[in-house]
Amino acid sequence: MIKNKVKTITFYKGLKFAEHKLLSKNLESEIFFAHLYSPLERGMNENPNGLIRYYFHKHTDFNEFSESDITLVANRFNKHTKKHKVTKHRVSYSRE
């Protein structure tokens, strides 16, 4: 089970995520929502999603994998993201 493994999840607003409170409670994780038309808030999760899909395709039944299988992929993923570290940029706008 991935409970206590997921610290945070970032979603965009949509009906698909209407059960976010239940998900947050079951995973004991924090849920964040990106603002509409704010790709900078979502950019940090779009690329990792693609990397995860390399190992686990859509509609994957995670019950078919052992915890050590998932940990192996997580370690590879973490090693990859450290090697290709991306920095966050904050953009602020002011009206004058």
Q: Give the integer Cα–Cα distance in Å for 85 and 87.
A: 7
Could you read off the pLDDT of 43-88 as tens digits, one per residue?
Answer: 666 666 777 788 888 888 888 888 888 888 888 777 765 555 544 4
Q: What is the pLDDT of residues 14-35, one digit of tens each?
A: 667 778 788 888 888 888 877 7
Confidence of residue 95 (pLDDT cuts 50, 70, 90): very low
CA distance 74 to 53: 12
Over the stretch 30-53, which tens digit does the pLDDT of each residue have? 888 777 777 676 666 666 677 778
Q: What global pTM score does this model have?
A: 0.41
